[in-house]
Structure 1
């Protein structure tokens, strides 16, 4: 068992203020695999004070972008050497299939570090513009102390969407990992210490909701960067609004995959399996609404059902596994609750249902519903598990209408033999990220959502802008 009895604050491993602990439970074995301190309000106060000291008086914000980029580059090198360890650790603590952890959970955070290190080597802090009476300087300065609050599903990916650009900007950070997945954050702290980040620039305090809200409302925090549920995002936004505090929110999704009539189903299903079932369906960008025309509806349902049943369900540490367990017992209960709701709403279970694959572990049967209307709860609410619904449409315009008929707007895809035409469809769907015959996120391009899917963008230069304040200095003479 991995046991940690300290917190990472001010560049040191320090004893927590309280005596509470958080048990990390394997979703596969239901056994405790780790234990960390349960951070308190006092711990958050100490972490914010350390970050405040690092920002107000330390060297980090006063270094050039290129100098900070060199440190981030060292962190990337250390991360690269330990990414296999990171992938295995995330699989152990939250049940992500090891193949997905090796494909995304560890490599994508590394890619973000590498991208921002490269961006910082040429990024200019000041820009000269001509003015009416003389030159004007536009200066970019760090926003200050950042509270980064991240969920359990892709813990390093989400943490790095905040940490990497915030570091390059010159901010100091307090990271609150989710109680379900704090172990990977400790490994990150070890790397940061080895890379030579100045004391207080990155502080890590695992904790629950109460201490998290204390961090959000702390007067020493200049910006909150949050990823999680839309309900929690609304609460955080209200606190930040009252304090006129900067905030970025990456929230839920209910993404639609539009299957056009010219799509080659046989070749599409392999990529659609990744897009819709990644991380056991526990992904805000998962393509869980499959839109099929009435002309090919039965054929698409059959293809989706075959795709789902072809994914082996089992031990997430086994490379042969396609779908592992859900993160917690409460998550299994939530997903099974939605399967019951779908049945009650009159949708047809094509594969899966309520029979659990294993007696031990928080597994659910991957499920496909047919005969689904877009007004059903299983088509409108984020389930966050391996549950797909196939919705019929009349024509392409109807497909776009259904895709847009959602409270969310985070992601989407279109599947077609004509990629150029797919671009026409992509331009009509109101989502922040879109894929044609695939779904992927790029470190150099913005990620975020429309509507209830959030506020702001992460990744790319747009992600860096979220951690900068812009200052205009005009001169006469």
Structure 2
């Protein structure tokens, strides 16, 4: 892989630089449990250099002064390089964090390409960069421009999807960026840096630094940073939000979830259960939007549990590099132990699972695997029904009627995602509108990247994607203009 030639370096100011300190981060394969790479760990001095480069690129460089059309063309060049190297990216993500390769080729690489396309379309066609507002009290030229230097803190579970979700709008708005990828999955960010270099983005517009948590917080609070966006755990997000609040620094947070899949009595049960194959288990259960609580009426509970058990038994478990694999290993030994702890808690509170349980999957004597597990008869207040597990563990909760289903769905500190299954689309939408969550799907229908994504309650602050995804990266300026200022003068 090409990233190997950059081991021990950081991408700062358009060049690959040796770090000031001697820190290193080992990258461990979750399948072989062996070290596959060593990357540099940035010191505070390296963070200073990266922020200074981004600051110069914003304050003095051409990027924020280009037209929107010119920035779109640059992003399209980056997108073209990404598409040409998407298999490299898919292979690296599977190697570093264990996502099954078939899913790496879709959610980890194809989805970012779709995001680039929709971001460029929104920037070109619908985002109100400049508008003239007339009223009896005055006339204003309202303009939106890049906020400045943005610090992007991204997670290990979907490293490119979450990066592009942030990077595209930030760059199109005219911001410059310091990207800090997750320590468990940094190699994909090295590939991205190579792409940025090949696409010819100006020096300092995107800087990539790998580092540990202490240095990451130093970046977030750096005086040269104007905007922070973070995807990760609710605990870490709450901590960073409190710190940013003291600086009056804007921060966007996309945090945890404990989403409900509500199966109404008139739903097509086989279709709903098959949808759960990806809605509940993609990326081996390590996605924040997964529907990990399945809500079904008492009259159809047995039918749904049986169908879910059969579906789970049909999912191949094993080598994430094998195209047939659906469930790969957990990203780390720590994550494996955490998920195992939740399975133990489920057994203690609910009893033996219908499928799965403790121990390694059969035939796998290495790798950080857990058995895909289904619990039935779960109480809505049990630990496994309330806390985010981030692994292939599903809880079935019975409800008495539609109102009860909505109440159970809303009985959560989280509010990120959800699904409603019904043979009547209007009925499903009516139920979805009562669930306190940022996004939902009716019968598994995707909402797309032109719509805002984000959570309520402890699932986050702010939105990404859609034209709303540009808003965190812009400042608004209102300029009073004379009555005779012509609309045609507005760009």
**TM-score, normalised to structure 1's length?**
0.98
The match for 2:336 is 332
- Say which of 189, 193, 204 aligns to 2:193: 189
The match for 2:120 is 117
1:380 aligns with 2:386: yes
How far does the alpha carbon of each residue in 1:392-439 deviate from its partner, in whole angstroms, 9 at most, with x for none? 100011001100110000000011222221111111111111011115
SS in 1 for 2:375: strand
After TM superposition, give the deviation of residue 246 of structure 1 in Å.
Answer: 0.9
Alignment of 1:426-465 (within 5 A): 426-438=432-444, 440=446, 442-465=448-471
- Say which of 226, 229, 234 aligns to 2:230: 226
The match for 2:397 is 391
Contact 2:318 2:328 in 1 (8 A): yes
Cα distance in structure 1, aligned partners of 2:465 and 2:225: 22
Contact 2:131 2:143 in 1 (8 A): yes
Alignment of 1:88-107 (within 5 A): 88-107=91-110
1:423 aligns with 2:433: no
How far does the alpha carbon of each residue in 1:311-339 deviate from its partner, in whole angstroms, 9 at most, with x for none? 01011111111100000000000000001
Cα distance in structure 2, aligned partners of 1:270 and 1:102: 21
1:64 aligns with 2:57: no
Alignment of 1:2-41 (within 5 A): 3=4, 4-41=7-44
- Say which of 351, 354, 358 aligns to 1:350: 354
**TM-score, normalised to structure 2's length?**
0.95
SS in 2 for 1:8: strand
The match for 2:373 is 367
After TM superposition, give the deviation of residue 17 of structure 1 in Å.
Answer: 1.0
Contact 2:179 2:208 in 1 (8 A): yes
The match for 2:489 is none
Aligned-residue RMSD, C-alpha:
1.3
Number of residue pairs the alignment of both structures matches: 477
SS in 2 for 1:466: helix
Cα distance in structure 2, aligned partners of 1:147 and 1:347: 45
Contact 1:75 1:113 in 2 (8 A): no
Contact 1:441 1:447 in 2 (8 A): no
SS in 1 for 2:261: strand
Cα distance in structure 1, aligned partners of 2:141 and 2:352: 63
SS in 2 for 1:175: strand
Contact 1:257 1:288 in 2 (8 A): yes
The match for 2:318 is 314
After TM superposition, give the deviation of residue 344 of structure 1 in Å.
Answer: 1.3
Contact 2:102 2:323 in 1 (8 A): yes
Structure 2, unmatched stretches of 5+, are 484-491
Cα distance in structure 2, aligned partners of 1:188 and 1:282: 22
